[in-house]
Amino acid sequence: MRSTQDDRTTRAVIRDEALRLFAERGPESVTVRQIAGAAGVSAGLVVHHFGSKDGLRQEVDQYVLAVFEAMLGELTGEGGQELLEPGAGSASLSEAFARHLPAGSPLPGYLRRLLLTGADTGRVLFRRLFELSRRTLDELVAAGTADPGRDPAVRAAVLLANDLAVFLLRDHLTDVLGTDPLSVDGMARWAPELLGVYAGGLNAAPQGEAPPPR
Protein backbone atom coordinates (compact mmCIF):
# COMPACT_ATOMS: atom_id res chain seq x y z
CA MET A 1 0.00 0.00 0.00
CA ARG A 2 1.67 3.24 -1.04
CA SER A 3 1.44 6.45 0.95
CA THR A 4 0.61 9.82 -0.51
CA GLN A 5 3.62 12.10 -0.78
CA ASP A 6 1.95 15.30 -1.99
CA ASP A 7 0.22 18.08 -0.09
CA ARG A 8 -3.32 16.82 -0.68
CA THR A 9 -5.33 15.23 2.09
CA THR A 10 -6.14 11.53 1.81
CA ARG A 11 -9.76 12.48 1.14
CA ALA A 12 -8.70 14.70 -1.77
CA VAL A 13 -6.44 11.99 -3.20
CA ILE A 14 -9.33 9.50 -3.15
CA ARG A 15 -11.65 12.03 -4.77
CA ASP A 16 -9.12 12.88 -7.49
CA GLU A 17 -8.43 9.23 -8.30
CA ALA A 18 -12.16 8.54 -8.44
CA LEU A 19 -12.60 11.46 -10.83
CA ARG A 20 -9.82 10.13 -13.06
CA LEU A 21 -11.24 6.60 -13.13
CA PHE A 22 -14.81 7.82 -13.61
CA ALA A 23 -13.66 9.91 -16.59
CA GLU A 24 -11.78 6.99 -18.15
CA ARG A 25 -14.29 4.17 -17.63
CA GLY A 26 -17.57 5.67 -16.46
CA PRO A 27 -18.71 5.68 -12.81
CA GLU A 28 -20.77 2.50 -13.21
CA SER A 29 -17.71 0.50 -14.31
CA VAL A 30 -15.45 1.53 -11.42
CA THR A 31 -15.42 -0.26 -8.07
CA VAL A 32 -14.53 1.04 -4.63
CA ARG A 33 -11.63 -1.43 -4.55
CA GLN A 34 -10.23 -0.01 -7.82
CA ILE A 35 -10.50 3.54 -6.49
CA ALA A 36 -8.79 2.51 -3.27
CA GLY A 37 -5.98 0.82 -5.19
CA ALA A 38 -5.40 3.89 -7.35
CA ALA A 39 -5.35 6.12 -4.27
CA GLY A 40 -3.06 3.80 -2.34
CA VAL A 41 -5.49 3.26 0.52
CA SER A 42 -7.78 0.48 1.72
CA ALA A 43 -11.36 0.08 0.50
CA GLY A 44 -12.44 0.47 4.12
CA LEU A 45 -10.85 3.91 4.26
CA VAL A 46 -12.77 4.99 1.16
CA VAL A 47 -16.01 3.90 2.85
CA HIS A 48 -14.92 5.63 6.06
CA HIS A 49 -14.49 8.96 4.26
CA PHE A 50 -17.47 8.81 1.87
CA GLY A 51 -19.87 6.18 3.19
CA SER A 52 -20.26 4.48 -0.21
CA LYS A 53 -19.37 4.82 -3.87
CA ASP A 54 -22.50 6.93 -4.34
CA GLY A 55 -21.29 9.26 -1.61
CA LEU A 56 -17.91 9.51 -3.29
CA ARG A 57 -19.53 10.17 -6.66
CA GLN A 58 -21.58 12.98 -5.13
CA GLU A 59 -18.40 14.55 -3.80
CA VAL A 60 -16.75 14.25 -7.20
CA ASP A 61 -19.75 15.99 -8.79
CA GLN A 62 -19.62 18.76 -6.18
CA TYR A 63 -15.92 19.20 -6.89
CA VAL A 64 -16.61 19.55 -10.63
CA LEU A 65 -19.18 22.24 -9.87
CA ALA A 66 -16.78 24.01 -7.53
CA VAL A 67 -14.12 24.19 -10.23
CA PHE A 68 -16.56 25.76 -12.67
CA GLU A 69 -17.84 28.13 -10.02
CA ALA A 70 -14.28 29.26 -9.29
CA MET A 71 -13.57 29.91 -12.97
CA LEU A 72 -16.82 31.83 -13.42
CA GLY A 73 -16.08 33.71 -10.21
CA GLU A 74 -12.91 35.09 -11.73
CA LEU A 75 -15.04 36.78 -14.38
CA THR A 76 -17.35 38.38 -11.84
CA GLY A 77 -14.93 38.99 -8.97
CA GLU A 78 -12.39 41.73 -8.44
CA GLY A 79 -10.51 42.36 -11.66
CA GLY A 80 -12.84 40.14 -13.64
CA GLN A 81 -14.54 43.01 -15.46
CA GLU A 82 -11.30 43.95 -17.22
CA LEU A 83 -11.22 40.54 -18.91
CA LEU A 84 -14.36 41.38 -20.86
CA GLU A 85 -13.49 44.95 -21.81
CA PRO A 86 -12.29 45.91 -25.30
CA GLY A 87 -8.53 45.63 -25.58
CA ALA A 88 -8.22 43.11 -22.78
CA GLY A 89 -5.51 40.51 -23.28
CA SER A 90 -6.00 36.79 -22.89
CA ALA A 91 -3.15 36.12 -20.45
CA SER A 92 -5.29 36.28 -17.31
CA LEU A 93 -7.95 34.05 -18.81
CA SER A 94 -5.33 31.56 -19.96
CA GLU A 95 -3.78 31.53 -16.50
CA ALA A 96 -7.19 30.94 -14.93
CA PHE A 97 -7.80 27.88 -17.11
CA ALA A 98 -4.30 26.59 -16.40
CA ARG A 99 -4.88 26.92 -12.65
CA HIS A 100 -8.24 25.20 -12.60
CA LEU A 101 -7.65 22.73 -15.43
CA PRO A 102 -3.95 21.80 -15.44
CA ALA A 103 -2.57 19.63 -18.21
CA GLY A 104 -3.91 16.11 -17.96
CA SER A 105 -6.89 17.07 -15.81
CA PRO A 106 -9.62 14.41 -16.06
CA LEU A 107 -12.35 16.95 -15.34
CA PRO A 108 -13.20 17.75 -19.00
CA GLY A 109 -13.49 14.05 -19.80
CA TYR A 110 -15.71 13.38 -16.80
CA LEU A 111 -17.92 16.35 -17.61
CA ARG A 112 -18.28 15.13 -21.20
CA ARG A 113 -19.23 11.65 -20.05
CA LEU A 114 -21.81 12.96 -17.58
CA LEU A 115 -23.50 15.31 -20.04
CA LEU A 116 -23.69 12.88 -22.95
CA THR A 117 -24.91 9.73 -21.18
CA GLY A 118 -28.34 11.11 -20.29
CA ALA A 119 -27.90 10.00 -16.68
CA ASP A 120 -29.81 11.74 -13.91
CA THR A 121 -26.52 12.99 -12.49
CA GLY A 122 -25.72 14.67 -15.80
CA ARG A 123 -29.09 16.40 -15.90
CA VAL A 124 -28.68 17.65 -12.35
CA LEU A 125 -25.15 18.82 -13.11
CA PHE A 126 -26.27 20.67 -16.24
CA ARG A 127 -29.02 22.44 -14.29
CA ARG A 128 -26.50 23.50 -11.66
CA LEU A 129 -24.15 24.77 -14.37
CA PHE A 130 -27.03 26.69 -15.92
CA GLU A 131 -27.78 28.28 -12.56
CA LEU A 132 -24.12 29.31 -12.33
CA SER A 133 -24.33 30.77 -15.83
CA ARG A 134 -27.47 32.74 -14.91
CA ARG A 135 -25.82 34.07 -11.78
CA THR A 136 -22.68 35.02 -13.68
CA LEU A 137 -24.71 36.88 -16.31
CA ASP A 138 -26.70 38.68 -13.59
CA GLU A 139 -23.48 39.78 -11.89
CA LEU A 140 -21.96 40.98 -15.17
CA VAL A 141 -25.16 42.93 -15.92
CA ALA A 142 -25.05 44.49 -12.44
CA ALA A 143 -21.41 45.46 -13.03
CA GLY A 144 -22.31 47.11 -16.34
CA THR A 145 -20.19 44.75 -18.46
CA ALA A 146 -23.02 42.77 -20.08
CA ASP A 147 -26.56 43.24 -21.35
CA PRO A 148 -29.25 40.78 -20.21
CA GLY A 149 -30.84 40.65 -23.68
CA ARG A 150 -34.55 40.23 -24.30
CA ASP A 151 -34.53 36.78 -22.69
CA PRO A 152 -31.83 36.47 -19.99
CA ALA A 153 -32.49 32.75 -19.53
CA VAL A 154 -31.81 32.06 -23.21
CA ARG A 155 -28.74 34.31 -23.19
CA ALA A 156 -27.34 32.46 -20.17
CA ALA A 157 -28.06 29.14 -21.92
CA VAL A 158 -26.27 30.30 -25.08
CA LEU A 159 -23.21 31.31 -23.06
CA LEU A 160 -23.23 27.99 -21.21
CA ALA A 161 -23.64 25.97 -24.42
CA ASN A 162 -20.71 27.82 -25.97
CA ASP A 163 -18.48 27.16 -22.97
CA LEU A 164 -19.45 23.50 -22.73
CA ALA A 165 -18.83 22.99 -26.44
CA VAL A 166 -15.10 23.46 -25.82
CA PHE A 167 -15.16 20.58 -23.34
CA LEU A 168 -17.45 18.31 -25.34
CA LEU A 169 -15.62 18.88 -28.63
CA ARG A 170 -12.13 19.25 -27.18
CA ASP A 171 -10.57 16.38 -29.14
CA HIS A 172 -12.09 17.52 -32.44
CA LEU A 173 -11.08 21.15 -31.86
CA THR A 174 -7.55 20.04 -31.05
CA ASP A 175 -7.47 18.08 -34.31
CA VAL A 176 -8.55 20.97 -36.54
CA LEU A 177 -6.71 23.75 -34.70
CA GLY A 178 -3.53 21.86 -33.93
CA THR A 179 -3.71 23.08 -30.32
CA ASP A 180 -5.66 21.89 -27.31
CA PRO A 181 -8.11 24.78 -26.71
CA LEU A 182 -7.96 24.15 -22.95
CA SER A 183 -4.17 24.40 -22.78
CA VAL A 184 -2.40 27.69 -22.06
CA ASP A 185 -1.36 28.05 -25.72
CA GLY A 186 -4.81 27.05 -26.93
CA MET A 187 -6.56 29.50 -24.65
CA ALA A 188 -4.20 32.24 -25.82
CA ARG A 189 -5.62 31.63 -29.32
CA TRP A 190 -9.20 30.97 -28.26
CA ALA A 191 -9.78 33.76 -25.74
CA PRO A 192 -9.21 36.81 -28.02
CA GLU A 193 -11.67 35.49 -30.61
CA LEU A 194 -14.21 34.49 -27.98
CA LEU A 195 -14.03 37.80 -26.13
CA GLY A 196 -14.14 39.69 -29.42
CA VAL A 197 -17.40 37.98 -30.41
CA TYR A 198 -18.84 38.52 -26.93
CA ALA A 199 -17.90 42.20 -27.01
CA GLY A 200 -18.98 43.14 -30.51
CA GLY A 201 -20.47 40.25 -32.45
CA LEU A 202 -19.06 38.59 -35.56
CA ASN A 203 -17.96 41.94 -37.00
CA ALA A 204 -15.67 42.58 -34.02
CA ALA A 205 -11.90 42.28 -34.17
CA PRO A 206 -10.31 39.83 -31.73
CA GLN A 207 -9.52 41.25 -28.28
CA GLY A 208 -5.92 41.56 -27.13
CA GLU A 209 -2.68 40.77 -28.88
CA ALA A 210 -2.93 38.50 -31.90
CA PRO A 211 -1.19 35.12 -31.69
CA PRO A 212 1.62 34.32 -34.11
CA PRO A 213 0.44 33.17 -37.57
CA ARG A 214 0.02 29.40 -37.99
Q: Identify the H or E element spanning 45.
A: helix 43-50
Neighbours of 153 (CB within 10 A): 13
pLDDT of residue 214: 54
Q: Is residue 166 a contact partner of residue 182, using CB atoms and an 8 Å limit?
A: yes
Looking at the predicted structure, is the pLDDT value of residue 46 above 60? yes
pLDDT of residue 94: 59
Looking at the predicted structure, is the pLDDT value of residue 89 above 60? no
Looking at the predicted structure, is the pLDDT value of residue 159 above 80? yes
Looking at the predicted structure, is the pLDDT value of residue 99 above 60? yes
Q: How confident is the model at residue 103 (pLDDT cuts 50, 70, 90)?
A: confident
DSSP 134-172: HHHHHHHHHTTS----S-HHHHHHHHHHHHHHHHHTHHH
DSSP 192-206: HHHHHHHHH-TTSPP
64-74 per-position pLDDT tens digit? 888 877 876 77
Q: Is residue 125 a contact partner of residue 115, using CB atoms and an 8 Å limit?
A: yes
More confident residue, 176 or 182: 176
